[in-house]
Structure 1
Amino acid sequence: MLMNFPAKQLPAVHDFLQGGGQMGARMRAHDWSTSPLGEPAHWPQSLRNYVELMLNARQAMFVAWGPELAFLYNDDYAPIFGVKHPGALGRPFAEVWADIWGQIGPIVEQTLSGQASWFEDLLIPMERHGRREDAWFSFSYTPIRDESGQVAGMFCAAVETTGKVLAERRAMAERERLQQLFQQAPSFMAMVRGPDHVFELVNSSYQQLIGHREVLGMPVREALPELVEQGFIELLDEVYRTGKAFIANAIPISLQQVPSGGDEQRFLNFVYQPITDASGQVTGIFGEGYDVTEQVKAEQALRVSEEFNRRILESSSDCIKVLDTNAQLQFMSTGGMEVMEVVDFGAIQSCDWRSFWYGPEHAKAREAVETALAGGMARFQGPTPTFRGTLKWWDVAVTPITGPDGKVEKILSVSRDISDLKKVEEALRKSEARHRAIIEATPECVKLVAVDGKVLEMNPAGLAMLEIDDPAMLKGASVLDVIAPEFRQEWRANHARVCKGESVNWEFDIISLKGTRRHMETHAVPLTMPDGSVAHLAVTRDISARKRGEEHQKLLINELNHRVKNTLASVQSITVQTLRTAATADSAKEALEGRLLALSRAHDVLTRENWEGAGLREIIGQAAEPYSSGQDRLHVDGPEVRLSPRMALALAMALQELATNAVKYGALSNLTGQVRIAWKVEQNDGQSCLHLEWAEKGGPPVQVPKRRGFGTRLIERSLAHDLGGTAQVSFEPDGLRCTVHAPLT
């Protein structure tokens, strides 16, 4: 309640409002007549004391007094009001801070009840600049009692901590970000404290490095005992003692990286960085680094590879050269210098490699360089002399050497001495030419047949056997096309055996393109082709003539056997009949000798003809020759007729009997008689038949015998049987006649 003093007793107004900066001036100038507080002259002393304290303080303060808690504040509190300043002066607390009254009203009620309060960094969202914003304050609410001891108002000392809170939050966020970066850093990191190097921080990469062991709060010596004997504890001690950082590159270390597992060797790049306090005293060590094991292994492998390549270069007999992009010589291997007979590489270094080649090879070398510069690979062969003048043949490969950007930086040239190979190739070429000439000159068919039966090659003799005029006709042709059908199955089976590695001999028939059939004998062997397949190489000869000869020989042997048997039978029959009809031993001897000689002469004729037959005229000549006296008493007339061996022997024996009878009893028994032997060939029902007649005249008168002797029976029976025809002997008065009619088969 306000205190009223008589006018004459009022103290000097505004003494307690003196000073106080702008708010002091405002309060002195303010029209308090309309305020619930009334004029300052009537304010109670308790209020005056707090107002004077507030105005002269250098901290944000306010005083709320009276039933409506009229609001009084100082200069440092004005910024808290924002746009509400200065209109808030003297107005009710609940009105000026209506936007936050829901939050602070209960606190105010608690204060007015006599209970002071303190808040630190309290968030109070408020509207003070035309918008709602978060603000933080540390403040105290203290109840003010009037002269009667009743709480008449409240006093607040406040500090806005919005900036501090936001700064702390930013700092915390930054710490969290740094902590996250620390944990997620690809490098391993750890921080140890004190002389015992106790683990304080480790990140995920470090945890992975040490096998995810729990090490925080433990000295390094205990947490990672495998490091003790490797000297790392001493390194930490040295850094802690001297305050100097330690940097290591590719240091080998044995670590247990799998729980309960054995130690594994790794290679690390790391730094031990001392941590100092404000006084410069070392308090800990920060360790950071990378596991470079794979890099070290790669470098080791590279060194091994480079060493291996160096040894290859030194041991290779190829001439390995490196050229610049102008084709100038930059490097030559040791083996290359030897094969090129170079004593001093310096004498040829930077020379144009293309100038080492002459004639057509110079153009090849120039083109090879151009190809390599364009990113391609070139290869050629050619002769050029060494630096001592020895002419050698070279196989040359030229390739580009590119940089990281793919551009050609150098040129690699590798030359191999192939002089010996060229000599071998030349010798082989001459040898192949000789063999080709031999194969082409041989009368046998030499052929190469693929596993599918197609003809790969065939010499001229083979083409002639197949009656092929154009060798191009063989392209894609199967050898089975000329194999006689009845031999194809056997040929396929034997061909398969050859292609499986066997050597096989067999015979078969072929039918040439012009239909000529030949009997062939072949010797086939397997031949491995360049592609790894097995072909059939064969030498095949035409044995048709040999087969015919063998068959003819077999026929002759069979015929001989037959003829010998027949001859012996004939001799036996002739002997028996002669002895049976002869009157005396001398006559028997004479008749037997004549008949056997006739048989012998006929055999002579047949033997000369290989028992294939004989001419009728020659048979007649042989039979009549012993009885020719040179007086031309035998007359022979008829065409040349070919007789079979059987007919020839039969007629020879018959003519012998007729001639013997003529000499003894007939026309040749005197000096004037004559014998005419005539024959002709007639056609009878489309078959050729021989008609032969023996006619005598001028001899003694002919008398018909009372009985027919052996000679007559030989002619009429044996001759007719052997000829498959008829034979008739007639005793005419003017002379004996014999007529023979037989088919010529």
Structure 2
Amino acid sequence: MSGLILMIASDVRDRQNHSVGRHGLWAMDDQRASMLQSTSECALLFQQFDWASSPLGPVDGWSPELRTLVDVTMNSLQPMLIVWGPEQIILYNDGYARMCGNRHPGGFGHPFRDLWYDIWDQVDPIISAAYAGHGTSMDDIEFIMHRNGFPEETHFAFSYTPVRDPTGAVLGMFCACTETTADVRLRREQVSERERLLRIFELSPAATAALTGPNHVFDFANAAFAAMIGDRDVIGRPAAEALPALAQAGLITSLDAVYRSGMPLTAHAMPLMLETDSAHTRGKRLIDLICQPMRDPSGAMAGILLQTQDVTEQLAEEEHRNLLARELAHRLKNQLAMVQAIVSQTLRSAGDITSARRALGDRLAVLGAAHDMIIKGGANTSTMAEVVAQMTQVHDDKLAPRIQVDGPPLRIAARPTLSLSLILHELATNASKYGALSVPSGRVQLNWDLSGPNRDRVEISWTEHAGPPVAMPQADGTGSKLIKAGLSGTQDCQVEIAFHPMGLHCRICADLKGFESEH
């Protein structure tokens, strides 16, 4: 820059020596009127300024270097600043004036330090380096300025260039600069917006990931997504490499189609073989999926936002609820048969009509309570003894009980309570119709206890004795399906039904944690 300035200044000096006319850069007959072609605010301010009383002196005595820089500065649209002489007097154009705030026009033609006194501790080393012959260039420098009467954070890109005379002595400094405060604020807002969105996605209960580029590279994955895939490290890796299960399910082809077309994709209950824990245990999961295309500011495809939800347990629970609903419908159809069995059993053991009426009313009331529990789904935690007692009051005889029960105190959560109540009533109903309770000599043994090496499982046993011969049915009815479905709310429930000639035996074994508490 200094070399260019010297070349221009030399040309001006030669033209002055040949008496350039009124239309030259610095015509001698009216220096300030003809030196500038610009009519900007700062150019007019320059023409009106009393330079004779300034340390720079009258304009006709200025060096060619300073005249050249003033002409370049006043005719430039880019903010420019000149600092000249040992007193560091400043001249600037309209672009730089806007950066001065309410300190313009007071700073024009005065020492540089007077203009930027509040940030002088930062500016002084840079201007001192320029006067020492060392240029400085920065893409971003931050100042806390009071240029408008209040503190504000500002940012600038600039270069300070020493200006020398033909002997090499430094005469002053020239600066071309740009205020970047608005750009910095915009970048911060964009970063802040991105961080805010990332926080929203991170807290989202839906498993969310961002894929970038045509190879679908993982750029972000929230905690829910990491948990769904077994906390595997996927960031920075293409989807096909990070999660081979996606390719096996044909999902990579679908992602390619979304990226090419820009059209979203949704899928429900997509089966995926996923490693769902840190031990890389693979299991089939059912996934709801939304693939939403993402575009850059120009509108071009940038990536895909992937939102997923593991609905395996939800769908299993829905199926279980449907099974219970079907069973409820089945049981309602058999109400007359149940009532008939209750009436027959009551009348058979009653001594007179009055006691028969009382016992029959009690048992029908218990039957109604059992159905209330089924419909409500077990609103409160029950005990094993309460559920069993409810069943025996409906199906057994108080005076001559034929269902023998035995087991320790156990709590049952709401969901297992509903399932167990249905199962026991189903077993008792079948026993009343076809099994041990259908004949006077028949008996049932109902036991429950804790089992397993850590006593972390509950085992329930229903065994019929002295009833009519039983045989395995040709096909499972809705009641059998309900029994085999096991206890809702438990993670690991096993049901075994054996049709022995001497009587039916049913064994139910489930995890104690799911049996006793909701989770």
Provide the TM-score with structure 1 as the length reference: 0.40
Q: Which deviations, in whole Å up to 9, do the C-alpha atoms of 1:634-690 show, x marking residues without a partner?
A: xxxxxxxxxxxxxxxxxxxxxxxxxxxxxxxxxxxxxxxxxxxxxxxxxxxxxxxxx
Could you say if the C-alpha distance between residues 47 and 240 of structure 1 is closer, same or farther in structure 2, counting changes exceeding 3 Å?
Answer: closer
Report SS of the residue matched to 2:320.
helix
Q: Which deviations, in whole Å up to 9, do the C-alpha atoms of 1:547-593 show, x marking residues without a partner?
A: xxxxxxxxxxxxxxxxxxxxxxxxxxxxxxxxxxxxxxxxxxxxxxx
Counterpart code for 1:429: D
**Of the candidates 147, 154, 161, which is equivalent to residue 173 of structure 2?**
154
Report SS of the residue matched to 1:214.
coil
Report SS of the residue matched to 2:231.
coil
Which stretch has the larger CA shift, 249-258 or 202-211?
A: 249-258
1:306 paired residue number = 325
Could you say if the C-alpha distance between residues 124 and 302 of structure 1 is closer, same or farther in structure 2, counting changes exceeding 3 Å?
Answer: same
Report SS of the residue matched to 1:49.
helix
Report SS of the residue matched to 1:115.
coil
Distance 1:430 1:189 in 2: 69
Q: CA deviation at 1:10?
A: 6.6
Counterpart code for 1:232: L
Distance 1:261 1:423 in 2: 59
Alignment of 1:216 with 2:235, yes or no, is yes
Alignment of 1:288 with 2:312, yes or no, is no
The count of residues paired between Structure 1 and Structure 2 equals 329
2:138 paired residue number = 119
Could you say if the C-alpha distance between residues 20 and 214 of structure 1 is closer, same or farther in structure 2, counting changes exceeding 3 Å?
Answer: same
Residue segments in structure 2 that go unaligned for 5+ positions in a row:
1-26, 356-519
- Given that residues 32 and 47 in structure 2 are in contact (C-alpha distance below 8 angstroms), is that contact kept between their aligned partners in structure 1? no
2:103 paired residue number = 84
Distance 1:431 1:80 in 2: 105
Counterpart code for 1:115: H
Q: CA deviation at 1:280?
A: 7.2
Alignment of 1:168 with 2:187, yes or no, is yes
Q: Which deviations, in whole Å up to 9, do the C-alpha atoms of 1:606-635 show, x marking residues without a partner?
A: xxxxxxxxxxxxxxxxxxxxxxxxxxxxxx
Distance 1:419 1:220 in 2: 63
Could you say if the C-alpha distance between residues 204 and 23 of structure 1 is closer, same or farther in structure 2, counting changes exceeding 3 Å?
Answer: same
Q: CA deviation at 1:127?
A: 2.1
1:98 paired residue number = 117
- Given that residues 286 and 311 in structure 2 are in contact (C-alpha distance below 8 angstroms), is that contact kept between their aligned partners in structure 1? yes
Q: CA deviation at 1:178?
A: 2.0
- Given that residues 255 and 264 in structure 1 are in contact (C-alpha distance below 8 angstroms), is that contact kept between their aligned partners in structure 2? yes
Alignment of 1:254 with 2:270, yes or no, is no
Report SS of the residue matched to 1:137.
strand
Distance 1:158 1:279 in 2: 29
Residue segments in structure 1 that go unaligned for 5+ positions in a row:
1-7, 319-414, 433-745
Report SS of the residue matched to 2:233.
coil
Could you say if the C-alpha distance between residues 156 and 228 of structure 1 is closer, same or farther in structure 2, counting changes exceeding 3 Å?
Answer: closer
**Of the candidates 178, 198, 216, which is equivalent to residue 197 of structure 2?**
178
Counterpart code for 1:249: H
Q: CA deviation at 1:67?
A: 1.5
Distance 2:271 2:216 in 1: 21
Distance 2:273 2:100 in 1: 67
**Of the candidates 123, 129, 133, which is equivalent to residue 110 of structure 1?**
129
Question: What RMSD in Å do the two structures reach over aligned CA positions?
Answer: 3.3
Q: CA deviation at 1:217?
A: 3.6
**Identity %, equivalent residues:** 36
Correspondence 1:694-705 to 2 at 5 A: none
Which stretch has the larger CA shift, 99-108 or 192-201?
A: 192-201
Correspondence 1:345-744 to 2 at 5 A: 424=347, 428-429=351-352
- Given that residues 31 and 59 in structure 2 are in contact (C-alpha distance below 8 angstroms), is that contact kept between their aligned partners in structure 1? no
- Given that residues 212 and 303 in structure 2 are in contact (C-alpha distance below 8 angstroms), is that contact kept between their aligned partners in structure 1? yes
Distance 1:24 1:292 in 2: 73
Report SS of the residue matched to 1:134.
strand
Distance 1:176 1:416 in 2: 66
Q: Which deviations, in whole Å up to 9, do the C-alpha atoms of 1:305-337 show, x marking residues without a partner?
A: 11111111122217xxxxxxxxxxxxxxxxxxx
Distance 1:67 1:248 in 2: 75
Q: Which deviations, in whole Å up to 9, do the C-alpha atoms of 1:293-315 show, x marking residues without a partner?
A: 33212211110111111111122
1:33 paired residue number = 52
Distance 2:346 2:63 in 1: 134
- Given that residues 249 and 270 in structure 1 are in contact (C-alpha distance below 8 angstroms), is that contact kept between their aligned partners in structure 2? yes
Distance 2:66 2:139 in 1: 26
Q: Which deviations, in whole Å up to 9, do the C-alpha atoms of 1:43-80 show, x marking residues without a partner?
A: 12211110111111111111111110111111111122
- Given that residues 20 and 74 in structure 1 are in contact (C-alpha distance below 8 angstroms), is that contact kept between their aligned partners in structure 2? no
**Of the candidates 51, 64, 81, which is equivalent to residue 62 of structure 1?**
81
Could you say if the C-alpha distance between residues 20 and 49 of structure 1 is closer, same or farther in structure 2, counting changes exceeding 3 Å?
Answer: farther
Distance 1:47 1:418 in 2: 118
Q: Which deviations, in whole Å up to 9, do the C-alpha atoms of 1:321-373 show, x marking residues without a partner?
A: xxxxxxxxxxxxxxxxxxxxxxxxxxxxxxxxxxxxxxxxxxxxxxxxxxxxx
Q: Which deviations, in whole Å up to 9, do the C-alpha atoms of 1:384-432 show, x marking residues without a partner?
A: xxxxxxxxxxxxxxxxxxxxxxxxxxxxxxx957996699499943899
Provide the TM-score with structure 2 as the length reference: 0.57
**Of the candidates 282, 290, 293, which is equivalent to residue 263 of structure 1?**
282
Could you say if the C-alpha distance between residues 198 and 71 of structure 1 is closer, same or farther in structure 2, counting changes exceeding 3 Å?
Answer: closer
Q: CA deviation at 1:103?
A: 1.0
Counterpart code for 1:267: L
